Amino acid sequence: MKIAIIGTGRIGGNLARQFTKWGHAVAIANSGNAQALQNLAQETGAKLATIQDVAEGAEVVIISIPIKRIPSLPSGFLDKAAPSVVVIDTNNYYPFMHRDGVIEEIEKGLPESRWVEQQIKRPVIKAFNATPWYNLTWGVPAGTPGRLALPVAGDDSAAKAIVFKLVDQVGFDPVDAGGLDESWRLQPGKPVYCVDLDVSGVQQALAAASPERGPELTGSHLSKEVIQAAHEQQSAFYEKYFKACLLLAEANDWTEAKATKALHLRFEKGDKSPDDILNFVLEQQRLD
């Protein structure tokens, strides 16, 4: 299958690694880090392309860039894709992250992927958004006890069937999360979001979701100054958190994915500051 991936960060990059291993013809593009794109192409054998041309002949196009950049995608970037192309949106909206800012339509309740669909004027399937990036690196085979599940939302049943197969190849049991209007159930802050669950657990979490956005995920009522301060705090947090992950990986001869998961599980309650986490790693150098 011909798969185009726009965006080669932690989600798009690891999907490229998985799909090339499965023998798919993968083309990759990003708008910023040319060296990272070149390195990923050399590592995986994926084809380098521009965003304008990456979807040429593609049967599946995966969009994995910050959501605020969706409107800046080139006009007609999907025009040369296969007629029945399946477009997958992996995005999550975080108004307090510097990358996103406030998107009024989403703040008012429009599902994030419905907003993406409106921007690119093509139907989309929401998938690969509701799990931490490191889970995309394991490749757990079907039938493995304790295999995690991933929800998939969209309006086209044929397109969802294709995405189900891709989810399975990446290492998860796919779960039908309904149409795109129900895709809010997959969004940040919902019970299924970035929680390790099996099929039954995902189904229960989807059913338990409430459509209201929590105040920690709502920015339209705040001043620009407050939002800017939140951006700075988030940036400081993740700078130290990622440093802690790399230190832990080096000290234990782990991959960055394994170290990140270990730290996430250790501090998943969120009651520790980044300084606490970094100091813990510097003192302990390992997790028991």
Question: Contact, 133 vs 11, CB < 8 A?
Answer: yes
Degrees (nearest 5) of the Cα angle 175, 180, 183? 65
Question: Contact, 73 vs 41, CB < 8 A?
Answer: no
Our measurement of the distance from residue 176's CA atom to the centroid of its chain's CA atoms, rounded to an integer in Å, reads 18
CA-to-CA distance for 80 and 134, rounded, in angstroms? 32
Per-residue pLDDT at 288: 47
CA-to-CA distance for 175 and 35, rounded, in angstroms? 36
Cβ within 8 Å of residue 155, ≥6 positions away: 123, 179, 180
Q: Is the pTM of this model over 0.85?
A: yes
CA-to-CA distance for 219 and 104, rounded, in angstroms? 9
pLDDT per residue as tens, the chain (288 positions): 999 999 999 999 999 999 999 999 999 999 877 888 999 999 999 999 999 999 999 999 999 999 999 999 999 999 999 999 999 999 999 876 556 678 999 989 999 999 999 999 999 999 999 999 999 998 899 999 999 999 999 999 999 999 999 999 999 999 999 999 999 999 999 999 999 999 999 999 999 999 987 766 665 566 666 666 666 676 777 777 778 888 888 888 999 999 888 888 877 655 566 566 667 666 655 554
Question: Measured between alpha carbons, how far is residue 271 from residues 133, 250, 281 in Å?
Answer: 22, 25, 16
Element (H, E) at 6: strand 2-6
